Amino acid sequence: MLLKRTRTPTIWRIVTIALTASALCPLAAEAQTYVAPPARRQFITISYNWLYTLPLHFADHPLEDLLGTRVVETDPPYDYRTSDGSTLIRVLEFKRPGQGVGVTVYPLGLRVGPTLGLRGYIENVPDIRVVFDGPGPLDSYTLTNALAYDVGAGLYVADRAPGWGLGAYAFIVGGVGKITSDLGNGNRYFGEGGGGVQSGPIGFEISAKFAWNYLSEPVEHRFFTVPINMRATVSF
């Protein structure tokens, strides 16, 4: 009698443990196979841009184009001079801050991995004021109220997070544009690279853009600008 009383609880304990384990196993398997929902695709981004534009090779272009002779840097109060020293040049203004707006369309959607982006911008081109002291074809050069209308296409690579999670992306874009100004109209070519972060539809982006700008007045000339862009973005 004593032997039976000690074995019976042990058997029931084993059965209870086995049933509990069999009930928990499907739950554990389900937890191991859970996959987070993917980020929603975005098809359009609207941006407001703040630009800080740097000149590059300014002596070569536009100054040499305007004067038709070699130009070098010189000592203050002038900024440049012709190589023979006959004409002294003072740059009165090269306006670096600017603004712009832009729209980017992703025909295949932007979520995770590479995709195509089509981009359009309207942005300021720097005001430039230069005076020439000495013999030459021009006494001054003034470019004001210039706007660039750019369109381009490029590659975007994204790693977006679902919901309001923090995601990131990078891009490289190339394209063409038209310039309007008080001096006359022109065109340009550009390349741009950068990246950004997003939380839900809200994002921030930074990039560097390299633009060759061509104008035909007062003589055919070109100048190279490097706008550093900071953009606030909203995507859908």
* Each residue's pLDDT expressed in tens, for the chain with a length of 236 residues: 444 444 555 665 655 555 555 555 554 445 556 566 788 899 999 999 999 999 999 999 999 999 999 999 999 999 999 999 999 999 999 999 999 999 999 999 999 999 999 999 999 999 999 999 999 899 999 999 999 999 999 999 999 999 899 999 999 999 999 999 999 999 999 999 999 999 999 999 999 999 999 999 999 999 999 999 999 999 99
Q: Give the pTM.
A: 0.82
- Same domain as 46, residue 3: no
Q: What is the pLDDT of residue 1?
A: 41
Start-to-end CA distance of the chain, whole Å, equals 78
- Same domain as 160, residue 62: yes
- Same domain as 19, residue 88: no
- Same domain as 49, residue 30: no
Query: Exposure string (b/e) for 41-66, b if CB count within 10 Å is 16 or more?
Result: ebeebebebebebebeebbebbbbbb
User: Domain count of the chain?
Assistant: 2
Q: What is the pLDDT of residue 29?
A: 47
Residues of the domain holding 91: 42-235
- Same domain as 155, residue 113: yes
Q: What are phi and psi of 24, to 5 degrees?
A: -80, -25
- Same domain as 73, residue 10: no
- Same domain as 205, residue 106: yes
- Same domain as 53, residue 113: yes
Q: Are 102 and 124 in contact (CB under 8 A)?
A: no
- Same domain as 100, residue 57: yes
CA 39 from centre of chain: 22
186-199 and 166-180 strand pairing: antiparallel
3-class state of residue 166 by DSSP: strand
CA 208/CA 230 separation, integer angstroms: 9
Locate 18 and state its tokens.
Answer: 């086995």
Q: Are 126 and 180 in contact (CB under 8 A)?
A: no
Calculate ∠ Cα 222-227-233, nearest 5°. 140
- Same domain as 159, residue 48: yes
Q: Residue 50 sits in a domain of what CATH number?
A: 2.40.160
- Same domain as 115, residue 21: no
CA 118/CA 103 separation, integer angstroms: 8
> What is the residue type of 113?
G
- Same domain as 135, residue 169: yes
